[in-house]
Structure 1
Amino acid sequence: MHFGLSEEQQLIVDTTRAFVEKELYPHELEVERTGHLRRELIEEIKAKAISAGLYAANMPADVGGAGLDTLTWLLYEKELGRANYALHWTCVARPSNILLAGTPEQREKYLFPCIRGEKSDCLAMTEPGAGSDLRGMKASAVQDGSDWVLNGTKHFISHADIADFAIVFMASGEEESARGKRKKITAFFVDKGTPGFTVRDGYRNVSHRGYTNSVLEFDDCRLPASQVLGDVHKGFEVANSWLGATRLQVGATCLGRAERALGHAIDYAAQRQQFGQQIGKFQGVSFKLADMATELKAAELMVMEAGWKYDQGTVTDQDMAMAKLKATEMLAFVADEAIQIHGGMGLMDDLPLERIWRDARVERIWEGTSEIQRHIISRALLRAVGG
């Protein structure tokens, strides 16, 4: 493995960081204090992101994206991750890769408009009674002639309030397995405005202000067969095939925020005077900086190695689970220590540290909790010896 960045990768890192600092940082305080991301601001930044070539950069070149390999994409995500989540995710959108699984007609209707910035998507899996246990979902899709009828509720659905359509996973039947009956899952495209489909306000969230979640309700929502994404009853396979790297994306954005927090801590430790000297000269502070930097380096190596292996076709679920687990728990540690070094000022919203600290909490929950990641890792270790 070569650890240096290519000239192209360095250019992408520099371009993305410059965009984040110039176009996103200035609006962070507004979003944090109001909890709202203005529509006109979204459109303004979106236009600049498209012009800079940063919009939908996760998509392959043959469909109009930047065609980044996984490792380069993670470097790009790391830089975007420095900013308020609502700003970088909503204004510099990365459409879900699962759109690539659509038919040619579905690509024309959903994928290409998302890449051009004309539409946006949201992904709906989680239910009030089924979070990490997707096979336990109760929301259902029943075939009625050539149509499908959807019923049930999804919640914690990110940015569904501004999305033009949802990619919804529904229980569409049952099958026998070694552990008894389990749900078959089918994925559907559901457009806003479809009769029987309602988007309601979600919950107020301590993390990622301005980045909303919604409750999706389906009440005899009728869809034609053309709205099925992938094969009937194969929604789980579609998700596993196209959504695997999202854990690495979470890890990469955590790296960016941790690096920003560490930078503030280093600067403050070098400038703040107490007892006649810089506080960074006290071991109680300097050792914190050393531990923060070491944890950040370890997490970065794990995320980037997993991204590199993804491109080689050798990545395992264990690799991605380890990377996600380490990066998210590292961010919580670094954010907390950065605030401790700043003392009371670290909790004031004049600095981004209290936001980074709050935002860090959700990272250990979404895209698979830390407990789920540990389960994946431990099962892989035990399976190797017949456990």
Structure 2
Amino acid sequence: MVSFQPTEDEQAFVDLARDFAKERIRPLARECEQEGRVHPELVKKIEEVGFASLELPESWGGLEMPLISQVQILEALSSGDLGVVQGLPGAGDAASLFRFIPDHPLLASYKEAGQKGTWPTVAFLHAAEGEIPQGVTITSADETGYVLNGTSQPVRLAAFADYLLVSAVDSQGETLLLWLDRQKGNRWQAEAGDYRLGLLASGCARIRFDEEKISSDQVLAKGDEAKDLLAKALRRIQVLEASKEIGLMDAAVSYVTEYTAQRKAFGQEIAKFQGVSFTLAGMAIETQAMRHLVLRAAADIDGDKGEVAASSTLGRVHRALRFVSDSGVQLLGGHGYVQEFPVEKWMRDAEAQTLLYGREGELLIQRGEQLLDRKVPIEV
């Protein structure tokens, strides 16, 4: 039997994260949303505690925690507010790739900047398995480099990114991982817009390139090496994102349970009505089931068990997230759509999250393509 019981050290860190989420993140969630970024004082506190460097390499001064530990901590933090967690500046999703190439010379300046106190913000523009990010084209200018053109789909942290990590396929069909640095002359435009209703503090923006020339010495990896790095990084990212979604689900279940237990109709608590209690039970069951699904995926990745169905795991959690967040709003009735209550924000954040990291159908298609391309035996 597989056990996901945390160690004493893990449990202490998770408890710290949960207390921090309740006492510091939740009270500032609306303020951060209105300002469009996470409050600087809150960012400072998160960095001091170490929550900003969970995935970063130990040689950089990061914690380089196992994935099984990180998913528990991120779930606890996100129970405070998913929008705040997604808006934290720093390495973001790119940290999962840095973990595999900590000594790459292109990353030396970033490493040095972070070790001075605060990690600069990185936006990771990527598509599954090295495909071209939608809306962006990359062509080989000559033997010395490449040219980027077009406007991407919304990317988290793009609105205030100092660096860009881009995965793409060039006109010759070769997979590339590119590193762009504003301080070294790279230029891109971050186009904010009203294309989403949630995660308003997460710095989401479209990235626009206008004939941006990328020299060959800005290539982190290419070919099979790039494919392998990208696949390993995306697996970790998908599991980490799923854990954050479970944090929102857990917050919604706890809040709605308390709300319905206190409100009365026809002389009894509304939680005792069958329609309400059944929905609450369904929300709780989905949350717990998804928690175990994510823990299993994290344990498999930590154990290097080869192919892990991270994309289908995230897709399944997406479905549960939308069910739980939508149900939370419905069970509060008219109050569910009032900003004095957090469930309307959680529903908006849930919808934005699924748009950023792929709808269920898209993720399942990715998994199917992996099975077909690699001839991986289907697990029953």
Which TM-score band applies after superposition, normalised by the shorter structure?
0.7 to 0.9
- Once the two structures are TM-superposed, the CA of residue 196 in structure 1 deviates from its matched residue by 6.5
- How many angstroms apart in 1 are the aligned matches of 2:136 and 2:191? 21
Is residue 6 from structure 1 mapped to residue 7 from structure 2 by the alignment? yes
Q: Assess if the C-alpha contact under 8 Å between 1:54 and 1:92 holds in 2.
A: no
- Once the two structures are TM-superposed, the CA of residue 364 in structure 1 deviates from its matched residue by 3.1
Q: Which residue of 2 aligns with 1:208?
A: 199
Give the letter for the 1:324 counterpart. Answer: L
Over 3 Å counting, the alpha-carbon distance change for 1:189 and 1:93 in structure 2 is closer
Please state whether the residue corresponding to 1:21 is helix, strand or coil: helix
Q: Assess if the C-alpha contact under 8 Å between 2:124 and 2:166 holds in 1.
A: yes
Is residue 350 from structure 1 mapped to residue 347 from structure 2 by the alignment? no
- How many angstroms apart in 2 are the aligned matches of 1:189 and 1:160? 14
- Once the two structures are TM-superposed, the CA of residue 288 in structure 1 deviates from its matched residue by 1.2
Q: Which residue of 2 aligns with 1:222?
A: 213
Q: Which residue of 2 aligns with 1:180?
A: none
Give the letter for the 1:98 counterpart. Answer: L
Q: Which residue of 1 aligns with 2:43?
A: 46
Over 3 Å counting, the alpha-carbon distance change for 1:191 and 1:376 in structure 2 is closer
Q: Map 1:221-370; keep pairs closer than 5 Å.
A: 221-231=212-222, 235-314=226-305, 316-318=307-309, 320-370=310-360
- Once the two structures are TM-superposed, the CA of residue 9 in structure 1 deviates from its matched residue by 1.1
Over 3 Å counting, the alpha-carbon distance change for 1:107 and 1:190 in structure 2 is closer
Over 3 Å counting, the alpha-carbon distance change for 1:7 and 1:274 in structure 2 is same
Task: Give CA deviations for 1:49-71 in whole Å, capped at 9, x if unaligned.
Answer: 22212221112323211121110
- How many angstroms apart in 1 are the aligned matches of 2:168 and 2:13? 38
Q: Assess if the C-alpha contact under 8 Å between 1:132 and 1:368 holds in 2.
A: no
Q: Assess if the C-alpha contact under 8 Å between 1:317 and 1:376 holds in 2.
A: no
Over 3 Å counting, the alpha-carbon distance change for 1:103 and 1:209 in structure 2 is same
Task: Give CA deviations for 1:203-240 in whole Å, capped at 9, x if unaligned.
Answer: 22212112232232333333333211123685433311
Q: Which residue of 1 aligns with 2:30?
A: 29
Give the letter for the 1:45 counterpart. Answer: L
Q: Assess if the C-alpha contact under 8 Å between 1:197 and 1:216 holds in 2.
A: no
- Once the two structures are TM-superposed, the CA of residue 342 in structure 1 deviates from its matched residue by 1.4
Q: Assess if the C-alpha contact under 8 Å between 1:12 and 1:76 holds in 2.
A: yes
- How many angstroms apart in 1 are the aligned matches of 2:3 and 2:80? 28
Q: Assess if the C-alpha contact under 8 Å between 2:148 and 2:210 holds in 1.
A: yes
Is residue 15 from structure 1 mapped to residue 5 from structure 2 by the alignment? no
Deviates more, 1:186-195 or 1:253-262: 186-195
Q: Mind listing any 5+ residue stretches in structure 2 that lack a counterpart?
A: none
Please state whether the residue corresponding to 2:72 is helix, strand or coil: helix
Q: Which residue of 2 aligns with 1:186?
A: 176
Higher relative contact order (CA 8 A, sep 6+): 2
Q: Which residue of 1 aligns with 2:155?
A: 157
- How many angstroms apart in 2 are the aligned matches of 1:196 and 1:47? 28
Q: Assess if the C-alpha contact under 8 Å between 1:16 and 1:80 holds in 2.
A: yes
- How many angstroms apart in 1 are the aligned matches of 2:311 and 2:8? 30
- Once the two structures are TM-superposed, the CA of residue 347 in structure 1 deviates from its matched residue by 1.4
Q: TM-score, normalised by structure 1?
A: 0.85
Q: Which residue of 2 aligns with 1:171?
A: 169
Matched residue pairs, number? 369
- How many angstroms apart in 1 are the aligned matches of 2:129 and 2:217? 28
- Once the two structures are TM-superposed, the CA of residue 171 in structure 1 deviates from its matched residue by 3.3
- Once the two structures are TM-superposed, the CA of residue 289 in structure 1 deviates from its matched residue by 1.3
Give the letter for the 2:170 counterpart. Answer: S
Q: Assess if the C-alpha contact under 8 Å between 1:137 and 1:170 holds in 2.
A: no
- How many angstroms apart in 2 are the aligned matches of 1:138 and 1:29? 34
Over 3 Å counting, the alpha-carbon distance change for 1:133 and 1:191 in structure 2 is closer
Runs of 4+ residues over 6 Å off in structure 1 = none
Q: Assess if the C-alpha contact under 8 Å between 2:145 and 2:215 holds in 1.
A: yes
- Once the two structures are TM-superposed, the CA of residue 75 in structure 1 deviates from its matched residue by 0.6
Is residue 107 from structure 1 mapped to residue 107 from structure 2 by the alignment? yes
Please state whether the residue corresponding to 1:350 is helix, strand or coil: coil
Deviates more, 1:218-227 or 1:162-171: 218-227
Over 3 Å counting, the alpha-carbon distance change for 1:16 and 1:345 in structure 2 is same
Over 3 Å counting, the alpha-carbon distance change for 1:189 and 1:265 in structure 2 is same
Over 3 Å counting, the alpha-carbon distance change for 1:168 and 1:133 in structure 2 is closer
Q: TM-score, normalised by structure 2?
A: 0.87
- How many angstroms apart in 1 are the aligned matches of 2:85 and 2:226? 29
Same amino acid, percent of matched pairs: 21
Could you say what the CA RMSD is over the residues aligned between the two structures, in angstroms?
2.8
